[in-house]
Structure 1
Amino acid sequence: MPSSGRTARTVRHVRLPAVETFGIATVSTPIGELVVVSSEEGLARVAFAAVEEVRGEQYRAWGGGSAAEQIGEYFAGERREFDLALDWRHARGFYGSVQRALCDVGFGETVSYAELAARVGRPKAVRAAGTACALNPLPIVVPCHRVLRSDGSLGGYRGGTQAKEFLLELEAGENETGTRRRVLQ
Protein backbone atom coordinates (compact mmCIF):
# COMPACT_ATOMS: atom_id res chain seq x y z
CA MET A 1 0.00 0.00 0.00
CA PRO A 2 1.38 3.47 -0.90
CA SER A 3 2.52 5.64 1.98
CA SER A 4 -0.14 8.24 1.15
CA GLY A 5 -2.80 6.05 2.76
CA ARG A 6 -4.75 5.49 -0.44
CA THR A 7 -6.66 2.26 -0.66
CA ALA A 8 -5.56 -0.37 -3.16
CA ARG A 9 -7.00 0.01 -6.65
CA THR A 10 -6.99 -1.98 -9.79
CA VAL A 11 -4.04 -0.97 -11.94
CA ARG A 12 -5.11 0.35 -15.31
CA HIS A 13 -2.80 -0.34 -18.22
CA VAL A 14 -2.24 2.53 -20.62
CA ARG A 15 -0.74 1.72 -23.99
CA LEU A 16 0.42 4.62 -26.10
CA PRO A 17 0.69 4.40 -29.88
CA ALA A 18 3.92 2.90 -31.20
CA VAL A 19 4.38 5.49 -33.94
CA GLU A 20 7.12 7.38 -32.12
CA THR A 21 9.51 7.06 -29.22
CA PHE A 22 8.40 8.48 -25.89
CA GLY A 23 10.59 9.63 -23.05
CA ILE A 24 9.54 8.30 -19.67
CA ALA A 25 10.53 9.38 -16.16
CA THR A 26 9.30 8.90 -12.62
CA VAL A 27 8.80 11.85 -10.28
CA SER A 28 8.43 11.41 -6.51
CA THR A 29 5.72 13.63 -5.00
CA PRO A 30 3.87 13.86 -1.68
CA ILE A 31 0.91 12.06 -3.30
CA GLY A 32 3.00 9.23 -4.69
CA GLU A 33 5.11 8.45 -7.72
CA LEU A 34 4.08 10.08 -10.99
CA VAL A 35 5.09 8.68 -14.36
CA VAL A 36 5.79 11.52 -16.80
CA VAL A 37 5.81 10.74 -20.52
CA SER A 38 7.04 13.08 -23.25
CA SER A 39 6.53 12.90 -26.99
CA GLU A 40 7.96 14.89 -29.86
CA GLU A 41 5.04 17.32 -29.38
CA GLY A 42 5.47 17.86 -25.64
CA LEU A 43 4.21 16.39 -22.40
CA ALA A 44 1.96 13.48 -23.40
CA ARG A 45 1.01 11.81 -20.13
CA VAL A 46 1.16 12.15 -16.38
CA ALA A 47 0.14 8.90 -14.68
CA PHE A 48 -0.26 7.91 -11.04
CA ALA A 49 2.15 4.98 -10.71
CA ALA A 50 0.07 3.41 -7.92
CA VAL A 51 -3.02 3.03 -10.12
CA GLU A 52 -1.76 3.12 -13.71
CA GLU A 53 0.97 1.27 -15.51
CA VAL A 54 2.33 2.94 -18.62
CA ARG A 55 4.01 0.40 -20.84
CA GLY A 56 5.24 -0.08 -24.35
CA GLU A 57 8.34 -0.89 -26.32
CA GLN A 58 8.75 2.66 -27.57
CA TYR A 59 9.97 4.21 -24.31
CA ARG A 60 13.44 5.50 -23.60
CA ALA A 61 14.71 6.64 -20.23
CA TRP A 62 14.38 10.38 -19.82
CA GLY A 63 15.23 12.54 -16.87
CA GLY A 64 11.88 14.29 -16.99
CA GLY A 65 13.37 17.60 -18.09
CA SER A 66 11.42 20.72 -17.32
CA ALA A 67 8.22 18.70 -16.74
CA ALA A 68 9.73 16.90 -13.74
CA GLU A 69 11.34 20.12 -12.55
CA GLN A 70 8.10 22.11 -12.79
CA ILE A 71 6.06 19.37 -11.07
CA GLY A 72 8.62 19.42 -8.25
CA GLU A 73 8.34 23.20 -8.00
CA TYR A 74 4.54 22.93 -7.89
CA PHE A 75 4.65 20.52 -4.94
CA ALA A 76 7.25 22.71 -3.20
CA GLY A 77 4.84 25.65 -3.42
CA GLU A 78 7.13 27.51 -5.83
CA ARG A 79 5.01 27.24 -8.99
CA ARG A 80 1.39 28.21 -9.64
CA GLU A 81 1.15 27.41 -13.34
CA PHE A 82 3.02 25.21 -15.76
CA ASP A 83 4.94 26.45 -18.77
CA LEU A 84 5.22 23.28 -20.83
CA ALA A 85 4.46 22.24 -24.38
CA LEU A 86 1.53 19.81 -24.17
CA ASP A 87 0.79 17.03 -26.62
CA TRP A 88 -2.94 17.50 -27.33
CA ARG A 89 -3.11 15.08 -30.28
CA HIS A 90 -5.37 12.64 -28.42
CA ALA A 91 -7.63 15.32 -26.90
CA ARG A 92 -10.38 15.58 -29.48
CA GLY A 93 -14.02 16.60 -29.63
CA PHE A 94 -15.95 17.48 -26.51
CA TYR A 95 -13.49 15.78 -24.16
CA GLY A 96 -10.61 17.70 -25.70
CA SER A 97 -12.53 20.98 -25.34
CA VAL A 98 -13.15 20.27 -21.66
CA GLN A 99 -9.53 19.28 -21.06
CA ARG A 100 -8.29 22.46 -22.70
CA ALA A 101 -10.80 24.52 -20.67
CA LEU A 102 -9.31 23.07 -17.49
CA CYS A 103 -6.18 25.11 -18.21
CA ASP A 104 -8.25 28.27 -17.60
CA VAL A 105 -9.11 27.25 -14.02
CA GLY A 106 -6.47 29.09 -12.06
CA PHE A 107 -4.32 28.03 -9.14
CA GLY A 108 -6.39 28.00 -5.95
CA GLU A 109 -9.69 28.24 -7.83
CA THR A 110 -12.32 25.57 -8.19
CA VAL A 111 -15.27 25.17 -10.53
CA SER A 112 -18.12 22.71 -10.61
CA TYR A 113 -18.55 20.10 -13.32
CA ALA A 114 -21.67 22.07 -14.38
CA GLU A 115 -19.66 25.29 -14.69
CA LEU A 116 -16.99 23.48 -16.69
CA ALA A 117 -19.61 22.09 -19.09
CA ALA A 118 -21.08 25.58 -19.49
CA ARG A 119 -17.65 27.04 -20.22
CA VAL A 120 -17.35 24.83 -23.31
CA GLY A 121 -20.87 25.68 -24.49
CA ARG A 122 -22.60 22.46 -23.38
CA PRO A 123 -24.29 23.31 -20.06
CA LYS A 124 -26.34 20.10 -20.01
CA ALA A 125 -23.30 17.85 -20.55
CA VAL A 126 -22.32 17.77 -16.88
CA ARG A 127 -21.66 14.01 -16.72
CA ALA A 128 -19.69 14.13 -19.95
CA ALA A 129 -17.57 16.94 -18.47
CA GLY A 130 -16.89 14.65 -15.51
CA THR A 131 -15.87 11.86 -17.86
CA ALA A 132 -13.53 14.24 -19.70
CA CYS A 133 -11.89 15.06 -16.37
CA ALA A 134 -11.58 11.36 -15.53
CA LEU A 135 -9.90 10.74 -18.90
CA ASN A 136 -7.55 13.73 -18.63
CA PRO A 137 -4.12 12.40 -19.69
CA LEU A 138 -2.26 15.22 -17.91
CA PRO A 139 -3.56 15.44 -14.33
CA ILE A 140 -1.96 18.11 -12.14
CA VAL A 141 -0.55 19.95 -15.18
CA VAL A 142 -4.06 20.15 -16.70
CA PRO A 143 -5.81 20.69 -13.36
CA CYS A 144 -8.83 18.37 -13.25
CA HIS A 145 -8.38 18.27 -9.45
CA ARG A 146 -9.86 21.79 -9.37
CA VAL A 147 -13.29 20.54 -10.44
CA LEU A 148 -15.85 19.75 -7.74
CA ARG A 149 -19.45 18.61 -7.60
CA SER A 150 -22.08 21.35 -7.53
CA ASP A 151 -22.57 20.78 -3.79
CA GLY A 152 -18.87 21.47 -3.20
CA SER A 153 -17.93 17.86 -2.48
CA LEU A 154 -14.83 16.42 -4.08
CA GLY A 155 -16.14 13.98 -6.65
CA GLY A 156 -13.73 11.42 -8.06
CA TYR A 157 -10.10 11.66 -9.04
CA ARG A 158 -7.84 9.24 -10.86
CA GLY A 159 -5.17 9.50 -8.17
CA GLY A 160 -7.73 9.02 -5.39
CA THR A 161 -9.78 11.48 -3.39
CA GLN A 162 -7.00 11.88 -0.80
CA ALA A 163 -4.68 13.08 -3.56
CA LYS A 164 -7.36 15.49 -4.81
CA GLU A 165 -7.88 16.80 -1.28
CA PHE A 166 -4.10 17.24 -0.88
CA LEU A 167 -3.81 19.18 -4.15
CA LEU A 168 -6.71 21.48 -3.25
CA GLU A 169 -5.22 22.14 0.18
CA LEU A 170 -1.80 22.76 -1.35
CA GLU A 171 -3.32 25.41 -3.62
CA ALA A 172 -5.83 26.95 -1.23
CA GLY A 173 -3.60 27.00 1.81
CA GLU A 174 -5.23 27.21 5.17
CA ASN A 175 -6.94 30.23 6.61
CA GLU A 176 -6.44 31.48 10.14
CA THR A 177 -8.96 28.98 11.59
CA GLY A 178 -7.16 26.04 9.98
CA THR A 179 -9.98 25.18 7.60
CA ARG A 180 -9.57 24.87 3.86
CA ARG A 181 -10.95 27.61 1.65
CA ARG A 182 -12.91 26.66 -1.44
CA VAL A 183 -14.23 28.98 -4.07
CA LEU A 184 -17.01 27.75 -6.34
CA GLN A 185 -17.64 30.00 -9.31
Structure 2
Amino acid sequence: MSTPQARPPATRPTAPLQARWQALAPREQNLVLAAGGLVALALLWWVALAPALATLRAAPARHAALDTQLQRMHSLQAEAQQLQAAPRTTPGDTVGALRTALTQRLGNTAQLNVVGDRATVTLKGAPADALAQWLAQARSNARATPVEARLARSAPAAASNAPAPVTLGNGGAPLPRWDGTVVLALPAAR
Protein backbone atom coordinates (compact mmCIF):
# COMPACT_ATOMS: atom_id res chain seq x y z
CA MET A 1 0.00 0.00 0.00
CA SER A 2 1.44 3.26 -1.06
CA THR A 3 0.58 6.59 0.44
CA PRO A 4 0.24 9.63 -1.72
CA GLN A 5 3.16 11.87 -1.30
CA ALA A 6 2.54 15.48 -0.42
CA ARG A 7 3.81 18.03 -2.83
CA PRO A 8 6.79 19.97 -1.77
CA PRO A 9 5.82 23.47 -0.60
CA ALA A 10 7.50 25.16 -3.55
CA THR A 11 5.32 23.39 -6.13
CA ARG A 12 1.89 24.26 -4.67
CA PRO A 13 0.01 26.95 -6.64
CA THR A 14 -0.47 29.03 -3.50
CA ALA A 15 3.14 28.75 -2.41
CA PRO A 16 4.19 32.21 -3.67
CA LEU A 17 1.26 33.81 -1.84
CA GLN A 18 2.00 31.96 1.36
CA ALA A 19 5.64 32.97 1.14
CA ARG A 20 4.66 36.60 0.57
CA TRP A 21 2.23 36.41 3.51
CA GLN A 22 4.92 35.04 5.80
CA ALA A 23 7.25 37.82 4.70
CA LEU A 24 4.80 40.49 5.86
CA ALA A 25 5.12 41.99 9.29
CA PRO A 26 2.30 41.22 11.76
CA ARG A 27 1.02 44.82 11.46
CA GLU A 28 0.88 44.53 7.64
CA GLN A 29 -0.90 41.18 7.94
CA ASN A 30 -3.53 42.83 10.16
CA LEU A 31 -3.98 45.66 7.66
CA VAL A 32 -4.43 43.20 4.77
CA LEU A 33 -6.97 41.22 6.83
CA ALA A 34 -8.86 44.43 7.70
CA ALA A 35 -8.92 45.51 4.02
CA GLY A 36 -10.17 42.05 3.01
CA GLY A 37 -12.86 42.21 5.69
CA LEU A 38 -13.91 45.68 4.48
CA VAL A 39 -14.17 44.42 0.88
CA ALA A 40 -16.20 41.41 2.08
CA LEU A 41 -18.59 43.69 4.01
CA ALA A 42 -19.00 45.99 0.98
CA LEU A 43 -19.79 43.01 -1.25
CA LEU A 44 -22.27 41.70 1.32
CA TRP A 45 -23.97 45.13 1.38
CA TRP A 46 -24.17 45.55 -2.40
CA VAL A 47 -25.22 41.98 -3.17
CA ALA A 48 -27.48 41.03 -0.25
CA LEU A 49 -28.59 43.94 1.91
CA ALA A 50 -29.04 46.97 -0.38
CA PRO A 51 -31.48 45.31 -2.82
CA ALA A 52 -33.53 43.92 0.08
CA LEU A 53 -33.72 47.33 1.76
CA ALA A 54 -34.72 48.99 -1.53
CA THR A 55 -37.53 46.46 -1.91
CA LEU A 56 -38.70 47.16 1.64
CA ARG A 57 -38.70 50.94 1.00
CA ALA A 58 -40.72 50.57 -2.22
CA ALA A 59 -43.19 48.07 -0.74
CA PRO A 60 -45.73 50.56 0.74
CA ALA A 61 -46.09 52.50 -2.52
CA ARG A 62 -46.36 49.29 -4.55
CA HIS A 63 -48.90 47.92 -2.06
CA ALA A 64 -51.02 51.09 -2.36
CA ALA A 65 -50.92 50.90 -6.17
CA LEU A 66 -51.99 47.25 -6.10
CA ASP A 67 -54.81 48.08 -3.65
CA THR A 68 -56.07 50.77 -6.03
CA GLN A 69 -55.89 48.34 -8.94
CA LEU A 70 -57.76 45.70 -6.91
CA GLN A 71 -60.52 48.17 -6.03
CA ARG A 72 -60.87 49.07 -9.71
CA MET A 73 -61.10 45.39 -10.63
CA HIS A 74 -63.80 44.85 -7.97
CA SER A 75 -65.83 47.77 -9.31
CA LEU A 76 -65.53 46.41 -12.86
CA GLN A 77 -66.59 42.98 -11.61
CA ALA A 78 -69.62 44.47 -9.84
CA GLU A 79 -70.55 46.39 -13.00
CA ALA A 80 -70.23 43.24 -15.12
CA GLN A 81 -72.40 41.27 -12.69
CA GLN A 82 -75.00 44.06 -12.72
CA LEU A 83 -75.06 44.06 -16.53
CA GLN A 84 -75.39 40.26 -16.60
CA ALA A 85 -78.28 40.36 -14.13
CA ALA A 86 -80.17 43.04 -16.08
CA PRO A 87 -83.17 41.74 -18.01
CA ARG A 88 -82.83 41.13 -21.74
CA THR A 89 -84.01 43.94 -23.98
CA THR A 90 -85.41 43.93 -27.48
CA PRO A 91 -83.69 45.90 -30.26
CA GLY A 92 -86.57 48.41 -30.20
CA ASP A 93 -86.11 48.99 -26.47
CA THR A 94 -82.38 49.44 -26.96
CA VAL A 95 -82.79 52.06 -29.68
CA GLY A 96 -85.49 53.82 -27.63
CA ALA A 97 -83.22 53.93 -24.58
CA LEU A 98 -80.39 55.33 -26.72
CA ARG A 99 -82.64 58.03 -28.21
CA THR A 100 -84.01 59.03 -24.80
CA ALA A 101 -80.56 59.22 -23.22
CA LEU A 102 -79.25 61.14 -26.24
CA THR A 103 -82.02 63.72 -26.00
CA GLN A 104 -81.63 64.09 -22.22
CA ARG A 105 -77.84 64.37 -22.14
CA LEU A 106 -76.81 65.92 -25.46
CA GLY A 107 -79.96 67.60 -26.76
CA ASN A 108 -79.63 68.97 -30.28
CA THR A 109 -75.82 68.56 -30.37
CA ALA A 110 -76.17 64.90 -31.43
CA GLN A 111 -78.08 62.84 -34.00
CA LEU A 112 -78.62 59.07 -33.92
CA ASN A 113 -78.66 56.82 -37.00
CA VAL A 114 -79.30 53.06 -36.55
CA VAL A 115 -78.37 50.55 -39.25
CA GLY A 116 -78.59 46.86 -38.35
CA ASP A 117 -76.72 46.17 -35.13
CA ARG A 118 -74.77 49.46 -35.24
CA ALA A 119 -75.79 52.90 -34.06
CA THR A 120 -73.87 55.94 -35.26
CA VAL A 121 -74.07 59.15 -33.27
CA THR A 122 -72.99 62.34 -35.03
CA LEU A 123 -71.85 65.09 -32.66
CA LYS A 124 -71.60 68.83 -33.27
CA GLY A 125 -70.31 70.84 -30.33
CA ALA A 126 -71.25 68.26 -27.70
CA PRO A 127 -70.00 69.09 -24.17
CA ALA A 128 -67.37 66.65 -22.93
CA ASP A 129 -69.03 65.94 -19.57
CA ALA A 130 -72.45 65.33 -21.15
CA LEU A 131 -70.86 63.01 -23.73
CA ALA A 132 -69.14 60.98 -20.99
CA GLN A 133 -72.39 60.70 -19.02
CA TRP A 134 -74.30 59.67 -22.14
CA LEU A 135 -71.76 56.97 -23.00
CA ALA A 136 -72.03 55.54 -19.48
CA GLN A 137 -75.81 55.61 -19.68
CA ALA A 138 -75.80 54.01 -23.15
CA ARG A 139 -73.62 51.21 -21.85
CA SER A 140 -75.63 50.49 -18.71
CA ASN A 141 -79.22 51.13 -19.88
CA ALA A 142 -79.13 50.23 -23.58
CA ARG A 143 -76.23 47.76 -23.30
CA ALA A 144 -74.59 49.43 -26.28
CA THR A 145 -70.82 49.15 -26.54
CA PRO A 146 -68.69 51.85 -28.16
CA VAL A 147 -66.61 50.28 -30.95
CA GLU A 148 -65.29 53.35 -32.75
CA ALA A 149 -64.94 57.03 -31.95
CA ARG A 150 -63.66 59.77 -34.22
CA LEU A 151 -63.73 62.96 -32.23
CA ALA A 152 -62.10 66.35 -32.59
CA ARG A 153 -62.38 69.42 -30.44
CA SER A 154 -64.89 71.76 -31.96
CA ALA A 155 -63.89 75.26 -32.92
CA PRO A 156 -65.17 77.98 -30.59
CA ALA A 157 -68.52 79.28 -31.79
CA ALA A 158 -69.19 82.94 -32.51
CA ALA A 159 -69.99 84.89 -29.36
CA SER A 160 -73.37 86.13 -30.62
CA ASN A 161 -75.11 82.76 -31.01
CA ALA A 162 -73.00 80.51 -28.76
CA PRO A 163 -74.46 79.14 -25.52
CA ALA A 164 -72.58 79.93 -22.33
CA PRO A 165 -69.58 77.59 -21.95
CA VAL A 166 -69.79 74.87 -19.33
CA THR A 167 -67.33 75.36 -16.45
CA LEU A 168 -67.49 72.64 -13.83
CA GLY A 169 -64.78 72.54 -11.19
CA ASN A 170 -61.86 73.21 -13.51
CA GLY A 171 -60.86 76.66 -12.38
CA GLY A 172 -63.36 78.50 -14.56
CA ALA A 173 -61.94 77.24 -17.86
CA PRO A 174 -64.65 76.08 -20.29
CA LEU A 175 -64.84 72.33 -20.82
CA PRO A 176 -64.07 71.15 -24.34
CA ARG A 177 -66.78 70.47 -26.85
CA TRP A 178 -66.54 67.69 -29.43
CA ASP A 179 -67.41 67.18 -33.09
CA GLY A 180 -67.30 63.77 -34.75
CA THR A 181 -68.91 60.35 -34.67
CA VAL A 182 -69.25 57.53 -32.18
CA VAL A 183 -70.23 54.06 -33.41
CA LEU A 184 -71.95 51.75 -30.94
CA ALA A 185 -72.56 48.01 -31.21
CA LEU A 186 -76.10 47.15 -30.16
CA PRO A 187 -76.82 43.94 -28.27
CA ALA A 188 -77.83 40.98 -30.42
CA ALA A 189 -81.53 40.12 -30.53
CA ARG A 190 -82.31 36.84 -28.74
| Rg larger for | 2
More helix by share: 2
Scaled by the length of structure 1, what TM-score is found? 0.26
Scaled by the length of structure 2, what TM-score is found? 0.25
